[in-house]
Amino acid sequence: MERTWWKEAVVYQVYWRSFYDSDGDGYGDLRGVIEKLDYIKKLGVSVVWLNPFYESPDRDNGYDISDYYSVMEKAGTMEDFEKLLHEAHKRDLKVIMDLVVNHTSDQHDWFTQSKSSKEHPKRDWYIWRDPVDGKEPNNWRSYFTPSTWEFDEGTGQYYFHSFAVEQPDLNWENKEVREAIYEMMRFWLEKGIDGFRMDVINLLAKVDGFPNAENPDYTDYLANNPGIHEYLKEMNEKVLSHYDVLTVGEIPFVTPEEGLKYVAEDRGELKTLFHFEVADDMPTWDMVRYKEIQEKWHETFYGKGWNSQFLNNHDHTRQVTRYGNDNRYRKESSKLLATMIHTLPGIPYVFQGEEIGMTGVRFDSIEDYNDIAMKNKFREEVEKGRNPVEVFETLLPLSRDNSRTPIQWDETEQAGFTEGEPWIKVNPNYKQINVKRDLSEEDSIFGYYQELIALRKEHPVMIYGDYKDLSKGQQRLYVYTREYGESRWLIILNYSDDHTIFHTDVAIDENRKRLILANYRDVTEDDVLKGTSLRPHEARIYEL
Ligand code: GLC
């Protein structure tokens, strides 16, 4: 495949409201990001992804946009954004923005106009339907509520929302809607941004006629519907293809075959995608299944399309807590997971705080949480008569707020994140886990990430190499090679709290192997590899 800058990228996700607060209002902000750009740069990443900072009533942390052309007060001003972009570019960092165009806020002018009357020219910009037998038009569930339909007293019709009631879906069948979105995209691209992370982009097209679902709880009917590829081709033709950008689609509910349709290089849609076969469908770690997922995606994509690798983000609990050991082996485990994500095929994403091994939070009461998905679900279940304590307990592990707590910069009050009251509580473990402390330690997690990321710049094998799993069916050991031209790398991971003997059928010339990186510092090149006893969460990379 052709080499491009975006295939070689490492992306750092900045959830700005929890990154760094420059003005003491308790929210991180764009100026805060500017102040910490050198920190991001030091890590070695090449792209920064900013979560949405557009004008918004902020019911879903910025994913409910009321004006695509202005900046939310909490985040700062348009000048702040322009400065951020300039400062990032000065440091050779690219910036991609969140593009949220499946829905707007119910406070967006377009929606208030659409809602004002059935005759309004913008009525058809959203999806309105008459009641059926006096009720919702069908039995679909939205991501955040029991129905995708909300009744509007004023006009006697229901509108459609895939997420919260406050997030009505746009009607992509309407050409004027599409043109308005394209124009808005050009506005930001002309400012010089380097691409978009595209929020639930495979939800744009809806099923004709909205038929009832057999199993409404499994919401796959919201995604991948006929028409979606035509919209994305059009978007590419009219907008994206005119810029040299990275576009990464958030694409739930896809198999590799279905996923490839979005990113195959010869199709002209997106550059890469996030699929959710791990984050959504694998609540606890299953190594055998993980390997199967990696293999299928690699085989389907190799030479045709580009994948992405991530284990957490603002919607998914911190990786070391959910998938690793955030206790006794927090450091080793953080490094092992990083080794894996940065050596598997696809663009690696680092979610802020991951680089110092931040852990998922557990607050005591639902009042401490802010996540609309969790709060709505809590209310829904309690209204059914379930015990609130029990409901709370079941929602804790996957609450999106797990990963949304402020970055722990140091051991001072509020972890050095803000001089005010943070919008969400700081994780109480900030005195043990913070940036200042991690950076000062010899076995720093940050330092390990730096090394991994630096390696990608020098060794195309990590990016373009063919992938082969040598450890199928094994739960503890994950061993694979990447091969590119003359270069052949072996990655060894002991995903376990115990020692595991390393064995493989592959021929290894013990005298010629070269150690590239290891998360236990006492490993040397001369150590015999075959039959060695790997320590808990040990990770090594060799050149063979
Ligand atoms: C995406 C975002 C999530 C948001 C949802 C609705 O999944 O990542 O945070 O709530 O879309 O926009």
Per the prediction, the chain carries an average pLDDT of: 97
User: CB neighbours (10 Å) of residue 255?
Assistant: 13
Name the 3-class secondary structure at 246. Answer: strand
Confidence check: pLDDT of 290 > 90: yes
CA atoms within 13 A on the CB side of 77: 4
Mean pLDDT over 132-152 rounds to 98
Check pocket membership of 200 for ligand 1, CB cut-off 6 A.
yes
Per residue in 410-420, pLDDT (tens digit) is 999 999 999 99
Mean pLDDT, range 467-492, rounded to an integer: 97
Over the stretch 294-337, which tens digit does the pLDDT of each residue have? 999 999 999 999 999 999 999 999 999 999 999 999 999 999 99
Ligand 1 centre distance from Cα of residue 143 (Å): 9
Q: Does residue 401 have its Cβ closer than 6 Å to ligand 1? A: no
* Distance from the alpha carbon of residue 440 to the mean position of ligand 1, in angstroms: 35
Give the nearest ligand 1 atom to 314 CA: 9
> For residue range 482-531, what is the model confidence (pLDDT) as tens digits?
999 999 999 999 999 999 999 988 889 999 999 999 999 999 988 899 89
Ligand 1 close to Cβ of residue 63 (< 6 A): yes
Helix (H, G, I), strand (E, B) or coil at 226: coil
- Distance (angstroms) between ligand 1 centre and the Cα of 177 equals 20
**Which residue's CA is the closest to the ligand 1 atom numbered 6?**
63
DSSP per position, 76-125: --HHHHHHHHHHHHHTT-EEEEEE--SB--TTSHHHHHHHH-TTSTTGGG
Q: Is the CB of 39 under 6 A from ligand 1?
A: no
Nearest to 242 by CA among 173, 185, 320, 200: 185
Of the residues 58, 64, 250, 332, only one is catalytic, namely 250
Q: Which atom of ligand 1 is nearest to the CA of 252?
A: 7
Distance 63 CA to ligand 1 centre (A): 6
Asked whether 428 and 411 are in contact (CB, 8 A), the reply is: no
Q: Which of 136, 199, 269, 354 is catalytic?
A: 199
Which residue ranges form the domains of the chain, and what is each CATH number?
11-103+175-448 (3.20.20.80), 109-160 (3.90.400.10), 463-543 (2.60.40.1180)
Query: Using a 6 Å cutoff on CB, does residue 100 contact ligand 1?
Result: yes
For residue 459, pLDDT beyond 90: yes
**Quick one: average pLDDT of 376-389?**
97
103 CB neighbour count, 10 Å cutoff? 27
Q: Is 99 near ligand 1, meaning CB less than 6 Å away?
A: no
Strands (E), 421-513: 466-469, 477-484, 487-494, 500-501
Count the alpha carbons within 13 Å of 64 in the hemisphere toward its beta carbon: 18
Indicate which residue's Cα is closest to atom 9 of ligand 1.
315
Q: What's the whole-number mean pLDDT along residues 90-110?
A: 98
Q: Which of 203, 274, 315 to mutate to test the pocket of ligand 1 (most atoms within 8 A of CB)?
A: 315
* Both structure tokens of 481: 């090679």
Closest C-alpha residue for ligand 1 atom 12: 63
Q: What are phi and psi of 517, to 5 degrees?
A: -160, 145
Give the mutation target among 163, 170, 202 for probing the ligand 1 site: most ligand atoms within 8 A of CB. Answer: 163
What band does 283 get if pLDDT is binned at 50, 70 and 90?
confident
pLDDT, one tens digit per residue, over 163-217 is 999 999 999 999 999 999 999 999 999 999 999 999 999 999 999 999 999 999 9
522 is catalytic: no
Neighbours of 328 (CB within 10 A): 11
How confident is residue 148, by pLDDT bands cut at 50, 70 and 90? very high
199 included as an active-site residue: yes
Ligand 1 centre to CA of 423 (Å) is 19
Q: What is the pLDDT of residues 16-36, one digit of tens each?
A: 999 999 999 999 999 999 999
Q: Say what the pLDDT of residue 505 is.
A: 86
Tokens of 519: 């998360």
Sorting pLDDT into bands at 50, 70 and 90, what band is 444?
A: very high
Give dist(CA 354, CA 357) in Å, integer: 5
Report how far residue 190's alpha carbon sits from residue 208's, in angstroms, rounded to the nearest whole number: 35
Task: Extract the tokens encoding 469.
Answer: 């799993």
pLDDT at 399 over 90: yes
